[in-house]
Amino acid sequence: MMLNSELATAIMNSVDAGFDEQVALTAELVKFPSVRGAEHTAQDFVASALRERGLAVDRWRIDIDAIRHMPGFSPVHVEYDNAFNVVGSHRPRSAKGRSLILNGHIDVVPVGPLDMWTTPPFAPRIEDGWLYGRGGGDMKAGLAGCLAGIDALARLGYRPAADLHIQSVVEEECTGNGALACLERGYRADAALIPEPMWNQLIRAQVGVLWFQVRVRGVPVHVREARAGANAIEAAFPIIEALHGLEEAWNTRREHYPPYETVEHPINLNIGRIEGGDWPSSVPAWCVFDVRVAIYPGQEIAAAKREIEATIRDAARANRFLANNPPEIVYHGFEAEGYVLKDGEEAVALLGRAHRQVFGEALAEIATTGTTDARFFGLYAGIPALVYGPNADSIHGFDERVELESVRRCTQAMALFIAEWCGLEKV
Ligand code: ZN
């Protein structure tokens, strides 16, 4: 349907009318320390918020065995005891419009050293129009925005005239297995919208991501005879350097992977964690480090792994001990392919129109150097997945924050998009 301008204005005003409530809901969500393995209480809260809005709530624990055979699955070496997904579904009296999935992740990344935060990460505060706190930007503001979008319609006496599923998933920051479990559960729609913090832009393309762990061995001896041993920690340095060499080699290939040919440094490799050794006066017998690296959309995961393994093997060969005791490589976490949103999707045109109505300018598109759950909908279910959301700073850093004015406007655009895509029926 085409919204008349009177109704469009009413919807935008209705978002404004509920905005204080929306900010309060966002702050409530930020208070939950929903890091890996501790998302369940935040999910309980989301489930009740969905239920309060009259949505049918589906809440289930992710069953690894049910999804492990599916394309897009990422291997994990942890338990899913507390890994619950929550979906709230609205089903209209008669479905006239196109169905929609609104998807957000509830999991947040660890906070790092607390003394680097101005105020505690899970005690949200508002200052100069920004809401501070871990997960505020990535992406509890977006998740709360999904609820605020349907609240804005409800305030006017409307609800979507199509099936609408609001998904609050876990595991986005490490595997994507939460979104995958929603596919396994049977959720489908004509489009998906994920309000990740994207500076009011649309993601046209996203990279894939691989996580792997490198386990280096050494020979432990007393440090007084250090030369008779093999230092596993120091042996890791050249391997890390070689991996950064591979990163640069992949970056030089970007011309083969549109739309990344014009992106400055699309492939980033990060040594995100390292551990090793037992004692200052013992030559360390072990060192373990975790790596995150991007791959291009269209770059095959198996081929990328072969290159990673060859790089590590070659670097190890230069080490007297490692030459015969090559490091072990363990894949755990992200095995994510890249995803490019197809040209000419009607949903993109509608979101573009909604965005222009609110912001007064064209919707900009980006090729991001990160990944999102959009890939599951787009690659494995044929559902065009739009990632579009507010302006945030320092996500995964300290003093993470999200700009409230941007949240307000993105929510207006989302509400307009829901109304146009799904159509409306009177409550
Ligand atoms: Zn995110």
Distance 99 CA to ligand 1 centre (A): 23
Rounded distance from Cα 2 to ligand 1 centre (Å) = 31
Residue 71 to residue 380: CA distance in whole angstroms? 7
Q: How far away, in angstroms, is 239 Cα from ligand 1 center?
A: 30
Q: In angstroms, what is the span from residue 206 Cα to ligand 1's centroid?
A: 13
Q: Is 62 helix (H, G, I), strand (E, B) or coil?
A: coil
CA of 135 to the centre of ligand 1 (A): 8
Question: How far is the centre of ligand 1, averaged over its atoms, from the C-alpha of 198 (Å)?
Answer: 10
Could you tell me the distance, in angstroms and rounded to a whole number, from the CA of residue 302 to the centre of ligand 1? 25
Type of residue numbered 295: I
Distance of CA 133 to the CA centre of its chain: 17
Rounded-to-integer distance, Cα 194 and Cα 142, Å: 8
Ligand 1 mean position, distance from CA 274 (Å): 24
pLDDT at 364: 98
Tokens of 243: 């991996």
H helix or E strand, kind and range, residue 340 = strand 339-340
Q: How far is the CA of 145 from the centre of ligand 1 (A)?
A: 14
| Confidence at residue 1, expressed as pLDDT on a 0 to 100 scale | 56
Rounded to the nearest whole angstrom, what is the distance from the C-alpha of residue 237 to the centroid of ligand 1?
31
For 407, the token pair is: 């949240």
Q: In this structure, are residues 132 and 400 in contact, taking their beta carbons and an 8 Å threshold? A: yes
In this structure, are residues 291 and 272 in contact, taking their beta carbons and an 8 Å threshold? yes
Residues of the chain with pLDDT below 70 are 1-2
CA of 47 from ligand 1 middle (Å) equals 20
Report CA(370)–ligand 1 centroid distance (Å): 9
Q: How far is the CA of 156 from the centre of ligand 1 (A)?
A: 31
List pLDDT tens digits, range 383-425: 999 999 999 999 999 999 999 999 999 999 999 999 999 999 9
CA of 419 to the centre of ligand 1 (A): 25
Instruction: Give 317 Cα–ligand 1 centroid separation in angstroms.
Output: 39
How far, in Å, from the CA of 109 to the mean position of ligand 1?
9
194-253 pLDDT tens trace: 999 999 999 999 999 999 999 999 999 999 998 999 999 999 999 999 999 999 999 999
What spacing in Å lies between the alpha carbon of 139 and ligand 1's midpoint?
5
Separation of CA 243 and ligand 1 centre (Å): 26
CA of 314 relative to ligand 1 center, distance in Å: 35
* Residue 71 confidence (pLDDT): 97
- For residue 175, the CA-to-ligand 1 centroid distance in Å is 12
What's the 255 CA to ligand 1 centre distance in angstroms?
A: 27
How many whole angstroms separate alpha carbon 389 and alpha carbon 112? 25
CA–centroid distance, 235 to ligand 1, in Å, is 34
Number of residues assigned to the chain: 427
Question: What's the pTM?
Answer: 0.96
Measured in Å, residue 427 CA sits from the centre of ligand 1 at 33
Ligand 1 center to 104 CA (angstroms):
8
- Name the nearest CA neighbour of 210 among 250, 181, 239: 250
142 C-alpha to center of ligand 1: Å?
9
Distance between Cα 426 and ligand 1 center (Å): 34
- CA neighbours closer than 13 Å in the CB half-sphere of residue 345: 21
Q: How far is ligand 1, taken at its centre, from the CA of residue 242, in Å?
A: 29
At residue 77, the pLDDT reads 87
The predicted structure's pLDDT at residue 3: 82
